[in-house]
Structure 1
Amino acid sequence: MTTGRPANGGSAGAGSFAGTGVLVRFVARRDRLLIAAWIAVAVAVPLFNAYSLAALLPTEATRTAFAEMSAANPVTTALLGPVHDTSIEGLVAWRSSVQSLFITGLAGLLFAIRHTRAEEDAGRGELVAARAVGRRATVGAVLVVAAAVNLAVAALLAVALPLGFGFPFGGSLLFGLTAAVGGTGFAACGLLAAQLCQSAALARGAAVGVLAVGLVPGVVVPGEWIGLLPAGWSRLARAYGAERWWAPLVPLAFTVVLALVVYALAARRDLGAGLLPDRAGGTGPVRGRLAGTSALVWRLYGGQTVAWTVALGTVAVGVGWVSASFELPTVTGQTLLEIFTYVLCMAVGCLTAAGALRPYAEERRGRVSPLLATPTGRSRWLIGHVALALAGPVAMLLAVGLGTGAGDALATGGLGAVLARTGTVLLFAPAAWVVAGLTIAAYGLRPRAAVPVAWVTVVASGICVALWEAGTIGETAFLFTPFGYVHPMVSAGWAVPAAFAVVAAGLVAVGGGAFARRDLFA
């Protein structure tokens, strides 16, 4: 961080925003497909909830019973808050609140980092800054596009919910605005992380961590204060109930404060600099000798894998203790421990996709060609990354299994279930390997397709979970999805995970063979 005069003759005034309009058009055109997907998912989730809840809870009696059961579940109440209205639209708003904010928030912060810090890491940010562009133009353009996209989501929800399901227009608009302004706030959070962190990977980790912490504080934060945090913004609004139209002003104030801080940092920060250095193998001397590509991969990404494992294990202990302490049945008859363990396994699937994309990131950064100019072979280099991509999920699942078992043992005083819980969780490893295998295969065959293939696999698997729970797809079809056979309501035996392991091995072999023959990025 420096305090010198801004480059390009920029100032603290309007000149520092020069070129913002051009960058807005450029960003929107460049990511038009991603923006369309962002809008589609953010609109589809509440619509799906409206359809499924209307089918599952057709009468007032069933909705009242559902609300009472939800209120008796302390974990659900902590995450989603109390049910203020038992009408179908009130339940949809209650069910969709955290989901919608998570979607708009995650998309917004990743979008913000992609067009700021990631561009600096790739060297393109310097090329843009060399033109007649103000120091604050890029962050201003990203914030404008993010706000416009989220407002489009709010407008579509305000139209689709009344037309498709007969919901009141006012409540639909309030629900959409709350999610839209909150999502824009997290886009500003992503911009702040991009200014503070020295790499895009570190910025993404920090911003996603803030998002996660902001959405699950109900377990420890008193109810009267929860409205000041992201998890409580929708609770303040009370869409379709006692509507509070001033509630979106809370996330709006959050957005404005973050934006002002971002603008101040953008006007003074050196290009590529950051207060938080990225220690992922990029700084400090290497003590001893790197024994090979596996040691190099561990040097670069081992710390990240360990951090993910420790974080999941810590959360798992809390989940095990809380779930066993209350011992409340759910609508499906499954225990809270089984349900939340399954959610943690799905999180491992997401982290597996991120880990399997590391070879692609290394090649895009231009680090592979110089390394392969040495006696290091292509297969040897890729094997190091594949080994960590496959071993990482096993370590994380082991942490989840031992953590949930240990938490359960702390609450109940019995140690007998620890090994059984760990064994059940480890059955998810072949599913995670399939996610990694699809990503590696796409990387070897069509490297530019690796990122969409990885995340489409994860998102599509999550959608299939929702469709199966709603009765839209059958169990046989559900078993063919990575998140299917480990669902707590499915008894698949050992044959299915064994088949997934074989499929994963075949996909990795395909990706490795294709990578050995294709050209590298220029």
Structure 2
Amino acid sequence: MSATVTTAAAPPTTAGGPRHLAGTGALLRLALRRDRVMLPVWVLVLGMVVVSGAGSIDALYPTAADRAQVATSMTANSSLRSLYGPVYGDSVGALVAWRFGVFASVLAAVMSLVIVVRHTREEEETGRQEMLSAAMVGRRAPLTAALLAALVANTALALVITAGLAGQGAGGALALGLAIGLTGMVFATMAAIVAQLTESARLAKGLTAGVLGAAFVLRAAGDAGDAEGGSLLTWLSPVGWAENVRAFAGDRWWVLLLSAAAVLVQGFVAYELTGRRDVGMSFLPARPGPAEGRLASAGALAWRLQRGGLAGWTAGFLVAGLVFGGMVEGAADLVGDNEQARQIFERMGGAQAISDTFLAALLGLFGMVASLYAVGSVLRLHGEETSQRAEPLLASPVGRLRWAAGHLVIAFAGPVLLMLTAGTGMYLSYGRDFGGVMGAAAVQLPGVWLLGALAVLLHGAFPKAAVAAWGVAGLAVAIGWIGPALDLPQAVLNLSPFGHLPKLPGADMAWQPVLVLAAGAAVLVAAGLAGLRRRDLVAS
């Protein structure tokens, strides 16, 4: 459906502000209450990952000479520049900004677009916004509340980073915090625009995430070709703006004005658009479906709903595999004679030759990320149920297990495609040991399946706690990503299923943990499906 100009009367002006913003405070409190778990987790985990980087870098490179040497070698490697950006200084703070700045900016953008779409288009899609709008709620109040919620989250994130890194230099810490927070707000306002254009929350998230991916690729391409960060491609990307603030290495405050200007312009456009359409409408008309249905089964419907997401993940894994594979040859030069760096890679990838250790560590990271896909794909069942789209389907001769099976096949087969795609990309750019690389990719699957199976159990038996699967998967990723760098005890590293898998290639294949994890996944799936058969459907 296309947008239509509204003729509904706006609520009268209240003491709380202009009539088109009436009710903003109440909606903001509602949004923060609904996100009272998600937002603190996002902010604290992301902020502490950045802050903890100072300690790990200081332990790895304790002297100025060590840091200068690693900065030179990292800047000379085009693959590393494309991944993290150039190194602009050799202080601990500058290396933290180099190592974590780009990825923290990307994750802040993801957090922000999820917040805004959740409290705008998703509310309209479920019909809740229409009920709220029947009260004393201004036309632009929902959008304002959503953007304010994103602003609260990004401000808190900037404060955590600033406070945590202040010991490395207050000015640099503030510059890095603002750069990351403003990048989040750039994509928050971008999501606000996209939410007006589409009538699907899923499509709004996908399109905004696609723009974010394109921004990352632009920055990567620009940095790969220019070690000084002056490439036009880098400056075309909001992620590149955050990098070019050069926190702890000159603090170019004026670059922050680019992000601030983008926030203001995009916010203005979003406000103009939201005032020109009715609730539930969109500016881009939805494509009409065929006159006769072409989906013959519940599995076909699940494939239709999830194929776009799987295609995007697969493309991302292929590109990442190509990039990471090109870094393997330079792994020995990257580590050099630094014993602490070698020990970190050994904790992640085993004590083999450094190239095999590096491959094992990278493919382990791919497995952790693939687990996020598995959890999200499983929880698509939860979304279909709470949005009440599953109820009419189950009222037909489609049983619950048959309905769930369509989504679960994709949730558990999808990671197989992702890992093999990543392995293929790494082999193409690495050029050696095809069997070893693909085996190392495949051996991560039992860990991925176990986390996906936990999501099945939570959705089937404890549906109100289903979203906790994200927390478990996030904890596994955090342990595997920063645990080795922080030299956490092995008992803590073993809390992640990936800590039990053999470190291929190079190490001996150990079948026992692989089979135990696979069997555990099967048991959890069976228990989850048994719970799904017995319980009532969840209301939104």
Secondary structure class of the residue paired with 1:483: helix
Three-state SS of the structure 2 residue aligned to 1:283 is coil
Tell me by how many angstroms 1:191 deviates.
Answer: 1.5
Q: Give the counterpart of 2:304 among 296, 299, 307.
A: 299
What residue in structure 2 maps to residue 236 of structure 1?
244
Structure 1 position 508, deviation (Å): 0.2
Match of 2:386 in 1: 364
Instruction: Give the deviation of 1:441 after TM superposition.
Output: 0.3
Once the two structures are overlaid, the 10-residue window that deviates more, 23-32 or 305-314, is: 305-314
- Using the size of structure 2 for normalisation, the TM-score is 0.85
Q: Does residue 497 in structure 1 map to residue 505 in structure 2?
A: no
Q: SS in structure 1 opposite 2:218?
A: coil
- CA–CA separation in structure 2 for the residues paired with 1:319 and 1:286: 46
Q: Residues 444-459 of structure 1 correspond to what in structure 2 (within 5 A)?
A: 444-453=460-469, 455-459=470-474
1:330 aligns with 2:347: no
- Is residue 2:442 matched to residue 1:434? no
The residue that corresponds to 1:2 in the other structure is: 3
Query: In structure 1, which of residues 56, 59, 69 is the aligned counterpart of residue 63 of structure 2?
Result: 59
Amino acid paired to 1:432: V
1:196 aligns with 2:201: no
Letter in 2 for 1:295: A
Map 1:148-297 → 2, pairs under 5 A: 148-162=152-166, 166-221=167-222, 223-224=229-230, 225=232, 226-276=234-284, 283-285=289-291, 290=296, 292-297=297-302
CA contact (8 A) 1:348 1:397 kept: yes
2:267 maps to a residue whose letter is: A
SS state of the match for residue 221, structure 2? coil
1:136 maps to amino acid: R
| Worse-superposed segment, 186-195 or 353-362 | 186-195
Q: Which residue of 2 aligns with 1:424?
A: 440
**Separation in 2, partners of 1:488, 1:45:** 27
Shift in CA distance, 317/489, structure 1 to aligned 2, threshold 3 Å: closer
Residue 20 of structure 1 and its aligned partner are, at CA, apart by 2.0
Mapped to 2, the partners of 1:277 and 1:312 lie a distance apart of: 31
User: Cα offset for 1:361?
Assistant: 0.9
Identity across matched positions, percent: 33
May I ask how many residue pairs the two structures share in their alignment? 507
Indicate conservation of the 8 Å contact 2:420/2:438, yes or no.
yes
Report if aligned partners of 2:85, 2:102 keep a CA contact under 8 Å in 1.
no
Q: Does 1:355 align with 2:394?
A: no
Q: Establish whether residue 136 from structure 1 lines up as the match of residue 140 from structure 2.
A: yes
Q: What's 1:516 paired with? A: 533
CA distance in 2, matches of 1:477, 1:152: 28
- 3-state SS of 1:32 partner: coil
Paired residue type of 1:495: Q
Task: Kindly state the Cα deviation for residue 506 of structure 1 after the two structures are TM-superposed.
Answer: 0.8
CA shift for structure 1 position 480 = 5.0
Give TM-score, length-normalised by structure 1. Answer: 0.88
Query: Per-residue deviation at 1:439?
Result: 0.3
Give, in whole Å, the separation in 1 of the partners of 2:284 and 2:322: 29
Which moved further from structure 2: 255-264 or 140-149?
140-149
Aligned equivalents of 2:180 and 2:53: distance in 1? 15
Q: Which amino acid aligns with 1:473?
A: L
Q: Could you say what the CA RMSD is over the residues aligned between the two structures, in angstroms?
A: 2.8
Deviation at 1:513, TM superposition (A): 0.9
Q: Would you say 1:396 and 2:418 are equivalent positions?
A: yes
Runs of at least 5 residues in structure 1 that lack an aligned partner in the other structure: 410-415
Counterpart of 2:496, as a letter, is T
Measured in 2, the distance between the counterparts of 1:267 and 1:29 equals 26
| AA aligned opposite 1:50 | A
Higher relative contact order (CA 8 A, sep 6+): 2
Q: Report the alpha carbon displacement of residue 420 of structure 1 after superposing the two structures with TM.
A: 3.8
Is the 1:435–1:458 contact (alpha carbons within 8 Å) kept by the matching residues of 2? yes
Deviates more, 1:418-427 or 1:129-138: 418-427
In structure 2, how many angstroms separate the alpha carbons of the residues matched to 1:471 and 1:261?
44
Where does residue 413 of structure 1 map in the other structure?
none
Contact 2:79–2:323 (CA<8 Å) still a contact in 1?
Answer: no
Deviation at 1:408, TM superposition (A): 4.2
Structure 1 residue 134, shift from structure 2 partner: 2.2
SS of 2:334's partner is coil
Quote how far apart the aligned CAs of 1:447 are. Answer: 0.8
Match of 1:146 in 2: 150
- Kindly indicate whether residue 121 of structure 2 is the aligned counterpart of residue 117 of structure 1: yes
Q: 1:473 to 1:327 in 2, by over 3 A?
A: closer
